[in-house]
Amino acid sequence: MKTLSLSTTSFFLLFFIFLTLFCPPSTGESQSICRGSVCYRNEPVIRFPFRIPTQQLAPCGYAGFEVSCNVTNQTLFRLPNSGYFSIQGIDYGEQEIWINDPDNCLPRRILSLNLSGSSFTAVYYQEFSFFRCSSSNYIKYGLNPVACLSSPNYTVFATSSYKVVEDLTGSCELMAVVPVPVQWPFFEQVLSSDLSDDLRLTWATPRCGRCESRGGKCGLKVNSSTEVECRNVPQHGIPRAARYAITFGVGVPGLMLIMGLICCVCGRVKSFTIRPDHQVAELASSTITSQANAVSGLDGATIESYPKVVLGESRRLPKPDDATCAICLSEYQPKETIKTIPECNHGFHAECIDQWLELNGSCPICRNSLERPMGTMDAV
Ligand SMILES: *[C@@H]1O[C@H](CO)[C@@H](O)[C@H](O)[C@H]1NC(C)=O
Ligand SMILES: *[C@@H]1O[C@H](CO)[C@@H](O)[C@H](O)[C@H]1NC(C)=O
Ligand SMILES: *[C@@H]1O[C@H](CO)[C@@H](O)[C@H](O)[C@H]1NC(C)=O
Ligand SMILES: *[C@@H]1O[C@H](CO)[C@@H](O)[C@H](O)[C@H]1NC(C)=O
Ligand SMILES: *[C@@H]1O[C@H](CO)[C@@H](O)[C@H](O)[C@H]1NC(C)=O
């Protein structure tokens, strides 16, 4: 193990020396005057196709992607038929945006959300029914109220479960049935939600995702307000032959080393499942409990059915996850493939959770059993 990490370190050292020698710093200045901007620290970086008109020139953005900064320093953006939303994150490579209500009552905005006339559509929709109940009794049955729509006289619930709809129909007033642009597709029906999680939207035009993924700089063509072009794709720094040399001389052994490391890590995780270690005591104990009731893991088709997503630059994950994979105990990096378990809304490195699920039929974090009867999948 020690020799391996030593050789890895020296390998990466050599690799970086090599890169610094052969890659000249990119020359952004000469190409364009457009630069990213922010409303405030920690707020999302705004660049093409988005633009803050008070800070960036007109050719630096695309029509319909204008963003403003509120006095509260929030990054705001207006949907033509639905008013202002705060931008929580932008993934330029995947062409996705996460928005919320600047006044902290997203459900109210969802009730009047109308994306027509905007450049945006939902990535996933899930239909929710809103009920207004004169009794708050349902909280006792585990239903989560929409607090900001409720009053002392009534309680509002939002559900996507046919069962709960059936239960509430008759005793409560149905307010509306609306499609909600959720962040992740849920296979299971959601019994109740306060719908405070960001909405996830995507845009089709302008198409800058490919350019962004290649590290290029997307922008409007000279004298055009609709045609875009990709500039500064980093490749001219290294001659073609040298790139092949790097790919085969460095990339392939590097890949093998990385795969070796992954195997090492996953091997360690496997051994934890048998012999608990204090470092992952919680994880290990969940394994033991789940092993007690279900020794076998899931079948390949079920494992394959869980939604995968390649992380973009913003590394945005479904809540309530943090930035670390609970199985590999390593942070997510852009371009890594994450697999989510909709039953508990947790995400993991795809290769780690696949191995886990082959051995365990439960979510490593919340221990929910994942054996689900067929035919309960919601259309998404
Ligand atoms: C900007 O902030 C002020 C003060 O919080 C708020 O009253 C106003 O509604 C905000 N503007 C928008 C468009 O949300
Ligand atoms: C907004 O930004 C200004 C500086 O740009 C700062 O002084 C102020 O405290 C910020 N306000 C909030 C609510 O964060
Ligand atoms: C959304 O807005 C458009 C234009 O104002 C309107 O024609 C359409 O009926 C609205 N859709 C809904 C579902 O309200
Ligand atoms: C709530 O109910 C009380 C008494 O039942 C009534 O006086 C009050 O006007 C109601 N409030 C609202 C907002 O409906
Ligand atoms: C852009 O438009 C200006 C003024 O209309 C013109 O002088 C210039 O040649 C145009 N440039 C290109 C690249 O078409």
Per-residue model confidence (pLDDT) at position 97: 95
User: Residue 378 pLDDT more than 80?
Assistant: no
| 373 within a domain of the structure (yes/no) | yes
Q: Is the CB of 117 under 6 A from ligand 3?
A: yes
- Which residues surround ligand 2 with Cβ inside 6 Å? 40, 72-73
Residue with the smallest CA separation from ligand 2 atom 2 is 73
- Which residues surround ligand 5 with Cβ inside 6 Å? 222-223
Per-residue model confidence (pLDDT) at position 306: 77
| 262 within a domain of the structure (yes/no) | no
Rank 96-110, 215-229, 299-313, 325-339 by mean pLDDT and report only the highest.
96-110
| 158 within a domain of the structure (yes/no) | no
User: Residue 176 pLDDT more than 80?
Assistant: yes
| 332 within a domain of the structure (yes/no) | yes
Q: What is the pLDDT of residues 215-261, one digit of tens each?
A: 899 999 988 889 999 988 876 555 455 555 555 555 556 656 666 56
The SS3 of residue 126 is: strand
Cis peptide before 80 (omega within 30 of 0): no
- Residue 97 and residue 120 in contact, taking contact as beta carbons nearer than 8 Å: yes
Number of domains in the chain: 1
CA–CA gap between residue 163 and residue 158 (Å, rounded): 13
Beta-bridge mates of residue 130? 158, 176
- Residue 128 and residue 195 in contact, taking contact as beta carbons nearer than 8 Å: yes
Concatenating the DSSP letter of every residue in 245-281 gives HHIIIIIHHHHHHHHHHHHHHHHHHHHHHHS--GGGH
Q: Quote the domain boundaries for residue 346.
A: 300-379
Question: What predicted TM-score, i.e. pTM, was given to this entire model?
Answer: 0.64
| 137 within a domain of the structure (yes/no) | no
Query: Which of the four pLDDT bands, split at 50, 70 and 90, describes residue 296?
Result: confident
Helix (H) or strand (E) holding 342: none
CA–CA gap between residue 102 and residue 74 (Å, rounded): 8
Average pLDDT in the chain: 76
* 191 DSSP assignment: S
Residue 152 CA to ligand 4 center (angstroms) comes to 8
Q: Which residue has the tokens 């092949």?
A: 244
| 328 within a domain of the structure (yes/no) | yes
Residue with the smallest CA separation from ligand 2 atom 13 is 72
Do you know the residue count of the chain? 380
Chain centroid to Cα 148, Å, comes to 26
| 330 within a domain of the structure (yes/no) | yes
Mutate which of 115, 116, 118, 127 for ligand 3 pocket (most atoms within 8 A of beta carbon): 116
CA–CA gap between residue 67 and residue 69 (Å, rounded): 7
Residue with the smallest CA separation from ligand 3 atom 4 is 116
- In degrees and rounded to multiples of 5, residue 240 shows phi and psi of -55, -45
Give the ligand at the shortest distance from the Cα of 42.
2
Strands 96-100 and 83-91, sheet pairing:
antiparallel
Give the ligand at the shortest distance from the Cα of 150.
4
Strands 199-203 and 96-100, sheet pairing:
antiparallel
CATH of the domain at 314: 3.30.40.10
- In degrees and rounded to multiples of 5, residue 294 shows phi and psi of -145, 105
Beta-bridge mates of residue 156? 132
- In degrees and rounded to multiples of 5, residue 78 shows phi and psi of -105, 130
Give the ligand at the shortest distance from the Cα of 177.
3
CA angle, residues 264, 15, 241, in degrees to nearest 5: 120
CA–CA gap between residue 65 and residue 44 (Å, rounded): 14
Judging by beta carbons within 10 Å of its beta carbon (0-12, 13-18, 19+), is residue 370 exposed, middle or buried? buried
| 283 within a domain of the structure (yes/no) | no
Considering the chain, what percentage of its residues have pLDDT values greater than 90?
41
The SS3 of residue 7 is: helix
Q: What is the mean pLDDT of residues 146-153?
A: 94
Residue 29 CA to ligand 5 center (angstroms) comes to 21
Encoded tokens for 225:
């307000």
CA angle, residues 208, 209, 215, in degrees to nearest 5: 90
Chain centroid to Cα 210, Å, comes to 18
Using alpha carbons, select from 103, 116, 153, 148 the residue that is nearest to residue 130.
Answer: 148
